[in-house]
Chain A
Amino acid sequence: MDVEKLRKLLGDADEIEIEDFELESEKIEFILRSQIAANAVSRKPKAPLPGFRFTPPVDKYDSKISEVTLGATKAGGGTRDRELRIGGANAPPFYYFENYCTNNPVISHDIFDMPISLPGHVKKYFGDAMEDPADWAKLRVKKFNAEMITLHLVSTDPNVKDTSVNEACKTIEDVLQAVKVPLIIGGSGNPKKDPELLSKAAEVCSGEKVILSTVDPDMDYKMVAKAAAEYNHSLISLISMNPDEMRRLNKNLMKTGMKPENMIMDLFTGGVGYGIEYTISAMERCRLAGLKGDKYLALPMASATSNAWSAREAWSHDDKLGPREWRGPLWESTTAAMALLSGADLFMMLHPTSIKIIESLIESLSVSKPVDSGLEENNTNNTYTQWINV
């Protein structure tokens, strides 16, 4: 018999019985893989194991997270080439055994209305396109397959360039022309200027169903909310990691006329080592409250994951910490992975590598039917234990 064949037969065998066997060679050696060997020694009969039957620890939730549509196609009165939907979760994130079911989270790629300071190894992905937001947007869509773009109008900050609202609106129009994916329009964070900027942006983007980002209690958020409601856009409410304040802000926004179908909340994503411990808890608390019926917190969550780049480990030149071309993107994607597990539905991200990693994570985790609860597990080709033999 062919040796290879014999080896294969042995490899799959539970038991070997040798009949009518004549041996002519001088020496024959059986090398059994350690696992088979382990079975072989334990052949002696054994008392049956005590019974244990696992029941998945299922809870019921009263509520569902609202669903938000991003962008409007022609049918919806806009000019975007797609409409994306986020939200709709009916159980905590990835609790498939509780029938977790939601729209896939969406990643929006960051662009800025002026060249911003970035490590050289990140800049090289964007090159000259950083000079012109429309080019930058095109590059994001064509080369990096962006499903969505966030235009950060940082230059409008009076302490930066004080770009006028009118000029900023021109930039918005350019980007709307340049790409056909849904957009997020981000202010500069200046509480005096953002209300005017975002309200005007609402008008300029009429029909496109953009997201206005962000409103917080330090600014005239009612002004923005009114404009968003009038032109049927969505908006993101921002509170740094405080569920009670988030609830209060969302309640006020709803009083101003915002509908849950047009609201997203951002509890602020501190990077790994820079606040993620608070982010995780704040997001978990809000998601659970929402599922348990608190309508002011039953909203999809956004994560401005690029915050991770403010962590020193993401950009520092310290060679002892390993190459920063790998370290930086990993810092951002690890931060995103934590936000994902905490319930984030919409990501605003920077680095193409981090984005790719999170895209593939989202795909891996988007099983359409609930994963079997572990009861029907019949993994005939489970390779996990082979880690011992790798």
Chain B
Amino acid sequence: MARLTALQLYKYLPAKNCGRCDEATCMAFAIRLLEREKKAVDCPELTDNGLERLEDAITPSVRDVEFGAGENKITVGGEEVICRHELRFFGSTPFFIDVSDLMDEKEIIKRTKFAQEFEVERIGQILKLQGVSIRCASGDSKKFSETVSKVAKDFSGALILCSFDPSILRAGVEIVKERKPLLYAANKENYTEVLEIAQEYGTPLVVYSDKIDELGSIAKEMSSRNFKDIILDPGAELRGSGLAKTLNKFTMLRKSAVKGVKELGYPLMCSTVSLWMGFKGSSEGERMSLAYTESTAASMLLDRFASLLVLHSIDVWAILPLVTLRQNIYTDPKIEPSVEAKLYEIGTPDESSPVIITTNFALTYFNVSGDLDNAKVSCYLLVIDTEGLAVTVSVAAEKMNASTINAALKESDVENKVKHHKLIIPGAAARLKDEFEDETGWEIIVGPNDSSQLSNFLIKENL
């Protein structure tokens, strides 16, 4: 279904402009709905019927499905488009780390800890892993339940419970029911039983089939029983020409959903664990190369519409590009993220501390301030408004020039905070040195190209 405009959405609202939704007008509320910052239920003036109609109208082509509880609740899916230039993507793909009930205790603890503790900071955001996926490889529901308890004890994030045996799933979910885990998976054999469990415990479930017709049939059957918290796993071959098939399938499914095929309008998931089949854990080289292969396959699936991924590798270097890429794919390519342009104090600067210039592009600001923080440098960081462009870009686009620098100097009043008149500029802006000097009257010192070299530079130059 085509995405509605705010004006079209407005027609579904009571037109009372009463403000009970904390928005001044119904129109403002409609805009917030579009931005996914409000939900239909936030308007208390809607009748039951009206609410249903509105919800129907704003349900995205790829439904959004929620699971997990409390602050670890996650939403997957919720997409409307194939390409991000039409509208950004919303349901930032959660990553789950694979645990099996046949792994030894040490391994389970190691993996659970990794999932719990993994953290990288980029552009002011903390990038994390969202969950642990626990599978019953033993076929033994007691062993599985024990593993679920073990993981739940050390791990506070979201959980997936995996087995095709409904009785095993039931045993598992009973242990962590208040955490609202995701059930994996219903297939054509067991869907009635798995659906019963999901309905009983109020959890979403995954439907698996490698045949699209079957996937659609099962989803259709569930939706006719009024159950729509579904994620689809269409199966994936990840080696050789299988990869072509997999990309083809994921692309067809997303495109069908966007074109309005309701039976397929659910988030897609994929596990790359099968890549590790046959690996005995003997050779370190083989392990590294499998981690490499898995990371590559996962990044391609991330680009091609996987709304949830289960990963086996717990190598930081293999996960790092994935969390970074995810951050990229789920930002709006039309908006340059920026920070406020002003004078920042790093550490505890005094009148002899250096004054350093950079731009207000978020990636630039967080790189530079992070480097200075890590090196425990105390200084004034003067952030210039370059309309959110990186140093290199703003030099090329002439957004960083003598007059913007001069204006920023004046406005910040840094002149009265330090007793020297030295300004350190990025290496990338070297060619503007003379221009800056003439306009500002400050001595301009050209720093290194990368801010990670900045603290060494300050020491070397005695600044």
Give A contacts to B, CB under 8 Å.
Answer: 31-35, 37-39, 41-42, 46, 49-54, 56-57, 94-97, 240, 272-274, 276-278, 280-281, 284-285, 288, 312-313, 316, 320-324, 326-327, 330-331, 333-334, 337-338, 341, 357, 361, 364-367, 371-375, 377, 379, 382-390
A37 to B292, CA, bound (A): 35
**Are B100 and A390 interface neighbours, CB within 8 A?**
yes
Q: Mark B326-346, 1 if CB is under 8 A from A, else 0.
A: 011101010000000000000
**Are A364 and B452 interface neighbours, CB within 8 A?**
no
Say whether, besides A38-B165, A334-B321, A382-B235, A390 and B210 are in contact (CB < 8 Å): no
| Distance between A121 CB and nearest chain B CB, rounded to angstroms | 13
**Are A341 and B304 interface neighbours, CB within 8 A?**
yes
Chain B residues with CB below 8 A from A374, complex form? 211-212, 248-249, 252
Chain B residues with CB below 8 A from A37, complex form? 139, 165
Task: Provide 12 A-B residue pairs closer than 8 Å at the C-beta atoms, listed in order of the A residue.
Answer: A34-B139, A42-B192, A49-B214, A57-B255, A96-B244, A272-B324, A322-B318, A341-B247, A365-B241, A365-B243, A373-B248, A383-B277
Chain B residues with CB below 8 A from A273, complex form? 122, 324-325, 327-328, 363
Main secondary structure of the interface of B (DSSP, over half): helix
Chain A residues with CB below 8 A from B358, complex form? none
**Are A321 and B320 interface neighbours, CB within 8 A?**
yes
Chain A residues with CB below 8 A from B189, complex form? 38-39, 42
**Are B139 and A33 interface neighbours, CB within 8 A?**
yes
Q: Does B167 contact A (CB under 8 A)?
A: yes
Chain A residues with CB below 8 A from B167, complex form? 41
| Distance between A299 CB and nearest chain B CB, rounded to angstroms | 19
**Are B296 and A337 interface neighbours, CB within 8 A?**
yes
Q: Which residue of A lies closest to B312 (CB)?
A: A390
Chain A residues with CB below 8 A from B211, complex form? 374, 377
Chain B residues with CB below 8 A from A52, complex form? 213, 216-217, 219-220, 263
Q: Does B177 contact A (CB under 8 A)?
A: no
**Are A382 and B210 interface neighbours, CB within 8 A?**
yes
Q: Does B113 contact A (CB under 8 A)?
A: no
Q: Which residue of A lies closest to B238 (CB)?
A: A384
Chain A residues with CB below 8 A from B264, complex form? 54
Say whether, besides A41-B166, A288-B83, A357-B296, A326 and B136 are in contact (CB < 8 Å): no
Give B contacts to A, CB under 8 Å.
Answer: 83-85, 100, 122, 135-139, 162-168, 188-190, 192-193, 208, 210-214, 216-221, 224, 235-237, 239-245, 247-249, 251-252, 255-256, 259, 261, 263-264, 271, 273-274, 276-277, 288, 292, 295-296, 299-300, 303-304, 315-318, 320-321, 324-325, 327-329, 331, 333, 363, 367, 393, 396, 450, 452
| Distance between B88 CB and nearest chain A CB, rounded to angstroms | 10
A326 to B165, CA, bound (A): 39
Chain A residues with CB below 8 A from B163, complex form? 34, 38, 388
**Are B220 and A50 interface neighbours, CB within 8 A?**
yes
Say whether, besides A35-B164, A313-B320, A385-B164, A333 and B248 are in contact (CB < 8 Å): no
Chain B residues with CB below 8 A from A357, complex form? 292, 296
**Are A330 and B164 interface neighbours, CB within 8 A?**
no
What are the nearest 3 A-B pairs in CB distance?
A: A322-B317, A52-B216, A34-B139
B241's partner among A338, A364, A387 (CB-CB below 8 A) is: A364
| Distance between B286 CB and nearest chain A CB, rounded to angstroms | 13
A46's partner among B192, B214, B245 (CB-CB below 8 A) is: B192
**Are B247 and A388 interface neighbours, CB within 8 A?**
no
Chain A residues with CB below 8 A from B328, complex form? 272-273, 276-277, 280
Say whether, besides A374-B252, A388-B163, A49 and B217 are in contact (CB < 8 Å): yes
A265 to B58, CA, bound (A): 39
Chain A residues with CB below 8 A from B288, complex form? 326
**Are A338 and B274 interface neighbours, CB within 8 A?**
no
| Distance between A380 CB and nearest chain B CB, rounded to angstroms | 11
A144 to B338, CA, bound (A): 42
A285 to B220, CA, bound (A): 34
A31 to B193, CA, bound (A): 22
Chain A residues with CB below 8 A from B236, complex form? 384
A321's partner among B255, B292, B299, B317 (CB-CB below 8 A) is: B317
